[in-house]
Structure 1
Amino acid sequence: MGGPSPVYRMFNPPCHRGGMKWGMIITLGALACGIGAFMPNGPMAPARDQSANSTIPVGFDPATADAQGSAPDYLSGEMVLQQRQDGHFYASPTVNSVPIEALVDTGASVIALTGADAEAIGLNWDQSDIGIIGRGANGPIQGVQVRLDTVQLGNFEVHDVDAMIIPEGLHVTLLGQSFLSRIPNVEIANGQMNLSEY
């Protein structure tokens, strides 16, 4: 075989320091190169919700969501995430009522779902839905822009959350700013990430 695919290289660039070979560990720096620099190019073809057999809206505008009667966010209490040995924070959010595992990425503009996680929560798309949805430091990012009904982490539940599906090349879902920015207080100190309502 000829080595890693171009998509793998986009999200896992080679590391030339210290003799390390292809990125076996996804780092926030590499993710920031691929996803964190995400700049939307406008709405793409919608993904379909298999569970409801309906279309999930794209191009979500938070400014108009409340006027359209979306459910209010529920933000209560405090949650503490511990930094793992790899230096990252991980969480187990529930997305559209389905639990998944995610890397908490404060540098990602939106939630970025792996293809497997998107399928697990009932999102469906076909090849014609996939397009360039942004540009990162390593080139174009291909995927599908979607809006999630709910994302819940502990006692924090937010509605109508921007996300994108990255069908190939992303190995862990990223919990980005489209969720984190709606938590009133997020602080990182001493190996802990604290999310709180105050």
Structure 2
Amino acid sequence: MAVLPVSARAALWALAVSLGACNARAESVALAGMLGSKALLVVNGTAPKTVAAGETHQGVKVISTSGDQAVVEQSGQRQTLRVGEAPVSLGGASGRGSRIVLTESSGGHFMTPGQINGRAVQFMVDTGATGIAMSMQDAERAGINYKNGQAVQMSTANGVTQGFRLKLNSVRVGDVEVFDVDAVVVPMAMPFVLLGNSFLSRFQMKRDNNLMTLDKRY
């Protein structure tokens, strides 16, 4: 029987934890709505901001708007956003990088936007988690057909429930990408995706005060 780590259960009530800054260049961007001809952008999970064509918010520039969609640009990369769709990632490099540097948040956690199978997610580093852990809702937003994974029984604070084990094609933070990463999908809601040791073990980890440096080993 698989056991959900205590740290994963703790994440369920950690919505109040402030999200720390990091130097990963990919930006998670979603279109929350339209106010006339202005786009209501959500960047890296922050509060929605009304942005007109030609204006820039947190490095993301709105190129044009039409109906329920907006064309945005960051670092020369353009993407069309539509109201209600899952966030997309902008500004990432080739994925061939080898170092990730994260800054500790005021809550003592290391947070970073990233991608799973090319879809934007919000990670929290969890060295106590065996693999990457995410809710079914996050898996669906990332386009993961988790029901094709291996069904497992999981012990939680609320009793025994069913989750799914699977491999993720790719996991990316900034311009660093790794492939074939073990993960588990759990039925309870979670405020973010836990970045566990199936990803972290591929890096040499160094902690220096409020900075965490991950150097890719393989």
TM class, shorter-length: 0.5 to 0.7
Query: Which residue is equivalent to 1:161?
Result: 181
Query: Which residue is equivalent to 1:78?
Result: 99
Cα contact 2:96–2:175 (8 A) shared by 1: yes
Q: Report the RMSD for the aligned CA atoms in angstroms.
A: 3.2
For residues 154-188 of structure 1, give each alpha carbon's deviation from its aligned partner in whole angstroms, at most 9, with x where no partner exists. 232111111011122433210100111012x1112
> For residues 26 and 139 of structure 1, what CA distance do their matches in structure 2 show?
22
> For residues 134 and 83 of structure 1, what CA distance do their matches in structure 2 show?
30
Larger Rg, first or second structure (1 or 2): 2
> For residues 212 and 158 of structure 2, what CA distance do their matches in structure 1 show?
29
Higher helix proportion, which one? 1
Query: Which residue is equivalent to 1:87?
Result: 108
Cα contact 2:167–2:181 (8 A) shared by 1: yes
Give the 5 Å matches for 1:9-48. Answer: 11-12=9-10, 24-25=13-14
Cα contact 1:89–1:104 (8 A) shared by 2: yes
> For residues 160 and 192 of structure 1, what CA distance do their matches in structure 2 show?
27
Change (3 A) 1:137 1:159: same
Change (3 A) 1:190 1:170: same
Q: After TM superposition, give the deviation of residue 131 of structure 1 in Å.
A: 4.7
Q: After TM superposition, give the deviation of residue 107 of structure 1 in Å.
A: 0.8
> For residues 102 and 78 of structure 1, what CA distance do their matches in structure 2 show?
16
Q: Give identity over the alignment, percent.
A: 33
SS across alignment from 2:198: helix
Query: Which residue is equivalent to 1:178?
Result: 198
Kindly indicate whether residue 119 of structure 2 is the aligned counterpart of residue 98 of structure 1. yes
Query: Which residue is equivalent to 1:36?
Result: none
What amino acid is the match of 1:165? Answer: V
What amino acid is the match of 1:95? Answer: I
SS across alignment from 1:116: helix
Q: After TM superposition, give the deviation of residue 92 of structure 1 in Å.
A: 1.4
Kindly indicate whether residue 172 of structure 2 is the aligned counterpart of residue 152 of structure 1. yes
Q: After TM superposition, give the deviation of residue 197 of structure 1 in Å.
A: 3.5
What amino acid is the match of 1:115? Answer: M
Higher strand proportion, which one? 2
> For residues 133 and 196 of structure 2, what CA distance do their matches in structure 1 show?
7
> For residues 143 and 134 of structure 1, what CA distance do their matches in structure 2 show?
6
Q: After TM superposition, give the deviation of residue 153 of structure 1 in Å.
A: 1.3
Kindly indicate whether residue 182 of structure 2 is the aligned counterpart of residue 193 of structure 1. no
Change (3 A) 1:132 1:77: closer
Change (3 A) 1:130 1:169: farther
User: If the length of structure 1 is used for normalisation, what is the TM-score?
Assistant: 0.56
List runs of 5+ in structure 2 lacking aligned partners. Answer: 1-7, 17-94
Q: After TM superposition, give the deviation of residue 140 of structure 1 in Å.
A: 3.9
User: If the length of structure 2 is used for normalisation, what is the TM-score?
Assistant: 0.51
